[in-house]
Amino acid sequence: MDVTQLTGEVFQPGQDGYDEEVTGFQLAVPSKPAVVVGATTAEDVVTAVRFAAAHDLPVAVQATGHGLTTSADGGLLISTRRMTGVEVDAVARTARVEAGTRWGAVLEAAGPHGLAPLSGSSPDVGVVGYTLSGGFGLMARRYGRAADHVRALDVVTADGELRRVEPGSDLFWALRGGRDSFGVVTAMEFDLVPVTDLYGGSLYFDTADLSTALRAWRTWSAAAPDTLTTSLAMIEYPDLPVLPEPLRGKHIAQIRIAYLGEDGDSLVAPLRAAAPTLMDTLKPMPFTESGSIAAEPRQPHGYHGTNTTVSQLNDAMLDAVLEHAGPGAPVPTVLIIDRLGGALARTPETPGAGWDSAAEFVVRTLSVVGDDGVAVIRRAHSKLSDALAPWTTGRLLPFVYGEHTAAEVAESVHPATDLRRLRELKRRHDPGNTFRPVG
């Protein structure tokens, strides 16, 4: 590669900085690309894609490494972590970000203008990877998917050209769900919403009250307004001093709440009354602090996970959830159930499946990859998926974690008609599979 054309850096195996560049948040999908381009501009991405095409190297993209599913072994990896520019247009209520921007930077840039992005539980997740996966955020029931609020994408396609694509174009449709199969997005423009504060946090319930908390949350959230987005997590906490004392060594239920209203305390009263809480972090807060609602771990680790969207959550399903992810589960599993509905059932359907209006919940499973290995985790998670199968409507792309083949991902998350259209567009825009295949 003519490195004089690059403003960024190039790394090859064995060189200083190579391992650091390749290692992302997800440690269970290790990669050994033949070459890594640490891009700083869209022109760097153009140079890298043209080089890869000339040398018949497959191209992979990585921003933060939160959502890695397939290794980039032997190919050219474009690392976008240096491309972190954020511009907010407070009048138009839009933001334009470069490819490596994390949600935290957008929260900080938009907040002073009384605006917020459709970000998710973690401020560390990458804006582009999240949005190209659909993007299920803290205000999802009020505003719908992040992918449905994109105004324009700058993308380098397989022919090495930098293009701007907007609603109405095939590529625009394909990228939001086709993720890294159609090109490298170098910048994205999207809507912000007029939100400064929210009522948010979590209620934590003890092991003996798991079943009560699950049932109370199911009933309570059924009547929730669209201004409330909520999930329930079941987590087995290790007994470690870094964790909050009331949670150490316990298998707890965490009810997560993000509510855009003033009467939060009265709204959650039935949940607080359902059982004693171990910890209660609910309070009014600036939206910039929304990462504290779920309080997810911020240290890189290896994890494997999947999910299934379901049309209901009946008692038999709750029993299956407790059996497969509660105390005594065959493999320690973090289980998260999100209530869908609201605007999610009304906004246009992007590819990236499971986002269908029949889905009422998504049930996600995630396990840390340790001595057990991925095969054992997969078997344990599929037992729960099998138990939920009669009510399953699909699978959401953002919550497919860890090593999966491109075919497994595409075939499990896209409904047949979307998959056919994605494959047809793939043949047109990337016939040589420079980017990840669509199955």
Binding site for ligand FAD (CB under 6 A): 24, 60-68, 80, 99, 120-122, 125-126, 128-130, 132-133, 135-136, 179-180, 184-185, 296, 398
Nearer to ligand FAD, 68 or 247 (CB): 68
Closer by beta carbon to ligand FAD, 299 or else 417 = 299
Give the distance, in angstroms, between the CA of residue 109 and the centroid of all CA atoms in the same chain.
21
Give 66 or 324: the residue with its C-beta nearer to ligand FAD: 66
Measured at the alpha carbon of residue 37, what is the angle toward residues 34 and 43, in degrees to the nearest 5? 140
Nearer to ligand FAD, 8 or 24 (CB): 24
Q: Judged by CB, which is closer to ligand FAD: 99, or 109?
A: 99
Instruction: Please report the DSSP string for 100-159 in residue order.
Output: T-BHHHHHHHHGGGT-B----S-TTSBHHHHHHT----TTHHHH--GGGGEEEEEEE-TT
The CA distance from 136 to 141, in Å, is 9
Amino acid at 106: V
Rounded to whole angstroms, the Cα distance separating 135 from 80 reads 19
Distance of alpha carbon 218 from alpha carbon 212, whole angstroms: 10
Rounded Cα–Cα distance for residues 429 and 155 (Å) = 12
Kindly tell me which of 130 and 172 has the beta carbon lying closer to ligand FAD. Answer: 130
Residue closer to ligand FAD by CB (options 121, 385) is: 121
**Minimum CB distance to ligand FAD smaller for 64 or for 412:** 64
Least Å distance, CB 67 to ligand FAD, is 2
Q: How far is the CB of 140 from ligand FAD (least distance, A)?
A: 8
The minimum distance between CB 157 and ligand FAD, in angstroms, equals 11
- In the bound state with ligand FAD, the residue whose beta carbon lies nearer, of 94 and 133, is 133
- Kind and range of the H or E element at 351? none
Q: How far apart are CA 222 and CA 15, in angstroms?
A: 55
Shortest distance (Å) from residue 125 CB to ligand FAD: 4
How near is the Cβ of 16 to ligand FAD at its closest, in Å? 22
CA distance 424 to 49: 22
For residue 248, give the nearest of 209, 203, 278, 223 by alpha carbon: 278
Q: Give me the least distance between CB of 178 and ligand FAD, in Å please.
A: 9
Beta bridge partners of 26: 301
CB of 131 to ligand FAD, least distance (A): 8
**What are the percentages of helix, strand and coil residues in the chain, rounded to 5?**
35, 25, 40
Q: Least distance (Å) from ligand FAD to the CB of residue 382?
A: 20
Residue 130 sits at the vertex; the CA angle it makes with 145 and 154, to the nearest 5 degrees, is 95
Question: Going by C-beta distance under 8 Å and a sequence separation of 6 or more, which residues neighbour residue 99?
Answer: 39, 45, 61, 63, 80, 83, 128, 184, 185, 186, 187, 188
Nearer to ligand FAD, 68 or 331 (CB): 68
Q: Taking the complex as a whole, how short is the minimal distance between the CB of residue 112 and ligand FAD, in angstroms?
A: 23
Q: Of the two residues 126 and 394, which places its CB atom closer to ligand FAD in the complex?
A: 126
Strands 35-38 and 76-79: parallel
* Cα 149 → chain centroid: 16
Supply the minimum distance, in Å, between the C-beta of residue 167 and ligand FAD.
18
Report the length, in residues, of the chain.
439
Shortest CB 314 distance to ligand FAD, Å: 26
Q: CA 178, CA 428: separation in Å to the nearest integer?
A: 14
Residue 346, burial from CB neighbour count under 10 angstroms (0-12, 13-18, 19+) = exposed
Which residue in the block uniquely carries the two structure tokens 């560390």? 124
**Cα 48 from Cα 35, distance rounded (Å):** 10
